[in-house]
Amino acid sequence: MPGIDECLLEAMRLPGALGAAVVDWTSGLALGTVGDAPGGDHETTAAEAAELARLAAEHRAFAPEEEVGWDGQDPPVEDLIVSNRDTYHLLRFVRTTFDSSVFLHLWLARTDGNLALARIRLGEMAGRLVLG
């Protein structure tokens, strides 16, 4: 089972990958980063992406019908996709045995990236990621 560094290196092998990070969305801190950072700063990117993740995880509007709200264990959202003119940003929540406050953030070049493939592979990576 891969740790943070192995997971990030695997993410960078995806077509069009520009960079990736593992982020704690409660603190906004990057637990690991690789590649280029949007805007040139991994820490700022992590903090800004954490704001999006926190909004999606804590608000009922994004929860499945059968869930009333976040129970503090498993975020109700699997992933978020944000696109702009030249990149895709994919945030994939990682389920953990403690508080599930971590997500994988991958950014892809639109010209070379395959969003569907990246979403599938990031989900697989999130399922295997070992935090410790």
pLDDT digits (tens, 9 = 90+) for 13-69: 999 999 999 999 889 999 999 999 988 999 999 999 999 998 888 877 777 766 555
Q: What is the span of the domain harbouring residue 111?
A: 4-128
Average pLDDT, the chain: 87
- Residue 48 CA, chain-centre distance (Å), reads 12
Going by DSSP bridges, is the β-strand pair 102-109/87-94 parallel, antiparallel, or unpaired? antiparallel
Q: Based on the structure, what is the number of domains in the chain?
A: 1
pLDDT one-digit tens code per residue, 71-109: 555 667 889 999 999 999 999 998 876 667 899 999 999
Residue 121 has pLDDT above 80, yes or no: yes
Cβ(55)–Cβ(82) below 8 Å:
no
Q: Where are the beta strands (DSSP E) in 36-123?
A: 79-83, 87-94, 102-109
23 touches 31 (CB < 8 A): yes
- The confidence band for 129, taking pLDDT boundaries of 50, 70 and 90, is confident
Copy the structure tokens of residue 11. Answer: 């993410």
Q: Is 37 left (phi over 0), alpha (psi -120 to 50) or beta?
A: beta
Read off the CATH number of the domain in which 120 is found. 3.30.450.30
pLDDT computed for residue 1 by the predictor: 46
